Amino acid sequence: MPLPAARTPLSELSPTIALGALDGRYRGAVAPLVDHLSEAALNRARLHVEVEWLLHLVGHQVVPGAPSLSAEEQESLRAVVTDFDAAAIEELRAIEAETVHDVKAVEYFLRRRLTQVLATDGDDTSRADALGELVHFACTSEDVNNTSYALMVQGAVTQVWLPRATALVDQLSTMARDLADVPLLAHTHGQPATPTTMGKELAVLAWRLRRQLRRVEGAAYLGKLNGATGTYGAHVVAVPGADWQQVSRSFVEHLGLTWNPLTTQIESHDWQAELYADVARFHRILHNLATDMWTYISMGYFAQVRGQGTVGSSTMPHKVNPIRFENAEANLEVSNALLDVLATTLVTSRLQRDLTDSSMQRNIGTALGHGLLALDNVSRGLAGLDAVPEAMARDLDANWEVLAEPVQSVMRALAARGVEGMTNPYERLKELTRGRRIGQAELVEFVRGLGLPSEEEERLVALTPAGYTGIAADLVDHLGQA
C-alpha cells in the first residue's frame, strides 16, 4: 500500500531536516565548503568586497574632500567581516526581507556598522553620513558579486578541494611505488594481454591526475569593477579627475584577483568555465581509477580486509562490497554533470546582462561538494585495500599464451638480421595460441622447435609471464617528476 496520507510533515520539524544528501547524510565530508560556498559565505564575501572598496576609495583619496578613516576605524570595519556570525546572518536576512535585493541588503547592513564604528559620545553623524555615501559607490551589484564569487571559488578550490585532491594523488603515488614490482596480467579489450605491474598501472592514473592538478593550480581568478555596463559611466561623471581604470585594477588586484579590463555588466565567467572543465577532467580520470579498482577487487587482486566491523552485505555475511568506489563513481557523475552545465552556461549572457548566471552560480558548492565527497570515498577505499600478489600470479601462470608476443618479436629481429627459418613468426604463433590456452610445456616445446640461435632459445625458454613486464617497475620512477 502507498504511504499514508496523514503523517507527520517532516518539513515542519526542528531542527530543519536537510533536503539534499550533502547537507544531510554526507555533511561531515563536505562541511569545509560551507565556509566558502554557502549563501552565508556569499554574503560575507560581499561584505568583504564592500568594506575593501570603501577603504580603497578613502585610502587612495579617490573622491576629493571625502573624510578619512583612522587605522583603528579601518580595523574595526574589517572586523565586521571577520566577526560575521549567526546574529549578523539573521540581521542581514531581515534587511533583505525589506529590500528584496540581496546586494542592497549588504550595503544597508554595512552602513549600519559604519555608523556604529564612527559613533562617539557627543559627536554628530555627519562623517558617518558622508562616508556612508561611499559604500557601494558607483557600483552595480555585479561589481560586488563577481569579485565575491571569484574569492569564494578561489578559497574553496585552493584551501579545500586542491589539498584533498593532492593528498589523494600522493596516496595513490605511494601505493604505485609500493607495488611497482608486483607483476600483473594486463587486459586490453577485456582479454589477457602483455603483462605489466600493478604499480605501473596505478602510476599511469597518478600521473594523469597530477597533470590536471597542475592545471587547476595555475587557474586565474578574474574580477572586474567598472559599473553597470562596463564603461565606468557613473565613475567618470561623479569624479572626472580620477584614473578609474587604475583605481579598478589596483582594487581587484588588492583582493588577490586578476583584473579583467573588458566586460559587459558582468565579468564574463570564462575563467570559471576553464576551471570547472579542468576539475571535471580530474574527476573523470578519478572515475576511471574507481572503476579500475572495482574491477581489480572483483578479480581478487585486492582484498578489502580492513575495518572488519563493517557490514558488507545485509544478507550475505561473506561479502565486503567495494562501496567506497561505487559511491565515488556516483558522486563524480553528479559533480561533473553540474560542472559541465556551469561551464557551458556561464560563458553566455544575453547582450549586456541577464540573470541566468545568478541562479547557476549558487550550484557551485553542490558541484564541488559531490566531488569532495568522491575524493573522500576514493581515499578511504584505497586505504582499505591490501594487494594480493598470489591472485595476480595465478592469472599470469594461467596465461602463457601472452608470451607469443616476445617469441614472435625475437623471431622478427632475427629475420631482419638475415637468420634463416624465422619467416612468418606472427602467423606461426597465431596458430599455436589463438583461441586456446597453452601452458609452459607447450610453449617450451614450440620454442625448442623453431631453430633459434641457442642464446635466444634459452632466453625465451627461461621467460615466464610474471617475468615479462619489460621496464614497468622502472617507469613508476616518473612519478617523482610529476
Q: What percent of the chain has pLDDT over 90?
A: 80
- Which one of 357, 390, 423 terminates a domain? 390
- Position 121 scores a pLDDT of 46
Q: Would you say residue 11 lies in a domain?
A: no
pLDDT digits (tens, 9 = 90+) for 86-99: 999 999 999 999 99
In a domain, 2, yes or no: no
18 domain residue, yes or no: no
Cell numbers linked to 27: 555533511
- The model's confidence at residue 426, banded by pLDDT at 50, 70 and 90, is confident
Give the number of domains in the chain. 3
Question: Nearest Cα to 35, choosing from 47, 44, 25?
Answer: 44
The mean pLDDT of 127-139, rounded to a whole number, is: 96
Which of 126, 250, 298, 313 is an active site residue? 313
Look up the CATH number of the domain holding residue 476.
1.10.40.30
pLDDT in tens, 394-425: 999 999 999 989 988 998 898 888 888 778 87
Residues 103 and 221 in one domain: no
As a whole number, the mean pLDDT across the chain is: 92
Cell of 235: 565613475
Question: What's the average model confidence in pLDDT over 296-308?
Answer: 84
Residue 437 — pLDDT band, cuts 50, 70, 90? confident
**Count of H-run helices and E-run strands, the chain:** 22, 6
* Four-residue CA torsion sign, 77, 78, 79, 83: positive
Same domain assignment for residues 147 and 109: no
Residue 309 or residue 336, greater confidence:
336
Q: Residue 96 corresponds to which amino acid? A: E
List, for residues 311-325, the tens digit of each pLDDT value. Answer: 455 454 455 789 999
Is residue 175, in this structure, part of any structural domain at all?
yes
Question: Are 358 and 230 in a shared domain?
Answer: yes
Same domain assignment for residues 152 and 120: no
Q: Which distant-in-sequence residues (6+ apart) come within 8 Å of 244 by Cβ?
A: 226, 232, 235, 236
The verdict on residue 6 lying in a domain is no
pLDDT at 316: 45
Domain range for 36 is 32-132
CATH of the domain at 110: 1.10.275.10
pLDDT category, 447, cuts 50, 70, 90? confident
pLDDT of amino acid 317: 45
Q: Which of 132, 153, 176 is the last residue of a domain?
A: 132
Q: Is residue 434 part of a domain?
A: yes
Please compute Rg for the chain using Cα positions: 32
pLDDT score, position 424: 80
Q: Is there a single domain that holds both residue 119 and residue 160?
A: no
Q: State the average pLDDT over residues 100-115.
A: 96
Residue pointed to by grid coordinates 559541465: 340
Q: Same domain for 382 and 406?
A: no
Q: In terms of domains, do 286 and 147 share one?
A: yes
Predicted TM-score (pTM) of the model is 0.93
pLDDT for 79-89, tens place per residue?
A: 999 999 999 99
- If asked whether residues 92 and 66 sit together in one domain, one would say yes
DSSP assignment of 328-355: HHHHHHHHHHHHHHHHHHTT--STT--S
- Residues 47, 145, single domain; the answer is no
Lowest mean pLDDT among 3-12, 143-152, 321-330, 352-361: 3-12
Lowest mean pLDDT among 162-166, 194-198, 442-446: 442-446
Q: Classify residue 409: in a domain, yes or no.
A: yes
Instruction: Read off the CATH number of the domain in which 180 is found.
Output: 1.20.200.10
Average pLDDT of the segment spanning 67-84: 97
Q: Is 67 exposed, middle or buried (0-12, 13-18, 19+ CB in 10 A)?
A: middle
Domain boundary among 114, 132, 150: 132
For residue 477, the number of C-alpha atoms closer than 13 Å in the C-beta half-sphere is: 5
pLDDT at 482: 55
107/196 same-domain check: no
Q: Which residue has the cell 564603461?
A: 231
Q: In this predicted model, what pLDDT tens digit does every residue of 176-189 receive, in sequence order?
A: 999 999 999 999 99
**Per-residue cell: 298:** 572483483
Q: Which amino acid is at 347?
A: V
- Same-domain check for residues 162 and 267: yes
Which ranges of 17-161 would DSSP assign to H, the alpha helix? 27-30, 34-37, 39-59, 71-82, 86-99, 102-118, 126-132, 141-156
Type of residue found at 239: V
Active site residue 313: yes
Inside any domain, residue 20: no
Task: Of 369, 330, 381, give the one whose Cα is nearest residue 31.
Answer: 369
Residues in the chain: 482
Catalytic residue among 14, 70, 189, 359: 189
Please, which residues have CB within 8 angstroms of residue 218's CB and are 6 or more apart in sequence? none
d(CA 250, CA 303): 56
Closest CA to 406 of 453, 451, 445, 462: 462
Q: Quick one: 196 and 260 in the same domain?
A: yes
Q: DSSP class of residue 247? A: H
- Helix or strand run (H / E) with residue 196: strand 191-197
The predicted-structure confidence for 17-45, as pLDDT tens digits, reads as follows: 888 999 999 999 999 999 999 999 999 99
Q: What is the pLDDT of residue 123?
A: 59
* 430 or 60, higher pLDDT: 60
Non-local CB neighbours of 2 within 8 Å, separated by 6+ positions: none
